[in-house]
Amino acid sequence: MTRASRARRLATGAAYGGGSVGLAGVAMVALLREQARAARRKVEARTAKADPPTGNGLYGRRRGKPLVLAVLGDSSAVGLGVERAAETPGVLLAAALAELAERPVRLVRLAVSGAESRELDEQVDRALDEHPDVAVIMIGANDVTTRTRPSTSVRHLREAVGRLTGAGAQVVVGTCPDLGTIRPIGQPLRLLARRWSRQMAAAQTIAVVEAGGRTVSLGSVLGPTFAQDRGLFSIDEFHPSAAGYAAAAAVLLPSVADALGVWPAVADRGLRTLRRDTVRPVAQAAVRAAGRTGTEVQATEVRGSDTGPRGPWARLRRRRPPDLPTPDQAERAEQTTVG
């Protein structure tokens, strides 16, 4: 079975045998379980006990009807591990969008630390009350660490994206990060965590694109880059630091801005394409994107058709991450806060 067909089976909820890896014997299973428990104890002992402030409110000093940015997902969307609202991905994105759009942006952070994909439904209920122009979702890591069946996780994500796009919102999903770089996780569990998280990211991409959204790979942003620079992790060595969240937000920003029609075309000039054939069947695009920094995947057409012999068409893009406002600049862009 190819990686693309495996991702497709996970994304569509088709039966996928026993485990996503071949585990050799009871002794190996016991070892992996103990490693998982030990890693969780280390992370929980060091993880910040309180979320940072939401930063909810208006950003940008220009006049006009505010764009509404809703941020959903888990602790990565919350910004767990930093103390200032201005260091969280939602605030960084809102401040940057206000500059690009030249109009105010209202941030509504609805993400919940510890959330799994099955808990997105409640977040979407609250988001729809806010009538968002764009929703950013960062989810998946907790589904992997709890070993939730991938097809179940992806089904919940697909439904969440479908409800948001059905209500007229643009949706950008930062796919599951690469958990193979988490220092408290030992081998061989670390190797398996990387495989599981990349499978999750690929399956998420297929589901999101088919539901009308677009994805951006965070796997390699929170992967090789983090592995080389421990300063991108917070003290628990699991959640990003302020610099880490800024790196993730910079990768997401071009796709969020483009979804709203405010990303300048000049910013993409001279960029290298992934390959000459950047349009592929969505399952192949998803697998390719899962391990490549900041790769965006969205639906497209070929010769007037959105579907080929191997399924829906998708376009891959890799944009240069822009410079974001610093936390101090983001605070200065803030007009009012509500939490």
| pLDDT digits 0-9 by tens, 258-269 | 999 999 988 887
Q: Rounded to whole angstroms, how far apart are CA atoms 132 and 160?
A: 14
Q: Please give the residue that has the higher pLDDT: either 336 or 161.
A: 161
Do 192 and 156 meet the contact criterion of CB atoms below 8 Å apart?
A: no
Q: What percent of the chain has pLDDT over 70?
A: 73
Rounded average pLDDT over 39-55: 65
Q: Label residue 17 by pLDDT band (50, 70, 90).
A: very low
Stated pTM of the model:
0.84
Based on its alpha-carbon atoms, the radius of gyration of the chain, rounded to whole angstroms, reads 19
Rounded average pLDDT over 4-24: 53
Do 324 and 246 meet the contact criterion of CB atoms below 8 Å apart?
A: yes
Best-predicted range by mean pLDDT among 22-26, 84-88, 187-191?
A: 84-88
Do 104 and 60 meet the contact criterion of CB atoms below 8 Å apart?
A: yes
The H or E element spanning position 196 is helix 189-210
Question: Which residues are bridge partners to 317 per DSSP?
Answer: 296
What angle do helix axes 3-12 and 189-210 make, rounded to 10 degrees? 60
**Residues listed for the chain:** 339
Domains annotated for the chain, with CATH where assigned, are 3-12+54-337 (3.40.50.1110)
Mean confidence (pLDDT) of the chain = 81
Q: Torsion angle, CA of 290/294/295/300, rounded to 10 degrees?
A: 130
Q: Could you read off the pLDDT of 72-130 as tens digits, one per residue?
A: 999 999 998 888 999 999 999 999 999 999 999 999 999 999 899 999 999 999 999 99
Amino acid at 164: L
Q: Are strands 279-281 and 214-216 parallel, antiparallel or unpaired?
A: unpaired
Q: Are strands 334-337 and 57-59 parallel, antiparallel or unpaired?
A: antiparallel
Q: Could you read off the pLDDT of 206-249 as tens digits, one per residue?
A: 999 999 999 999 875 544 444 444 444 444 445 677 888 898 99
| Residues annotated as part of the active site | 75, 236, 239
What angle do helix axes 89-101 and 242-259 make, rounded to 10 degrees? 40
Structure tokens at 182: 């988490």
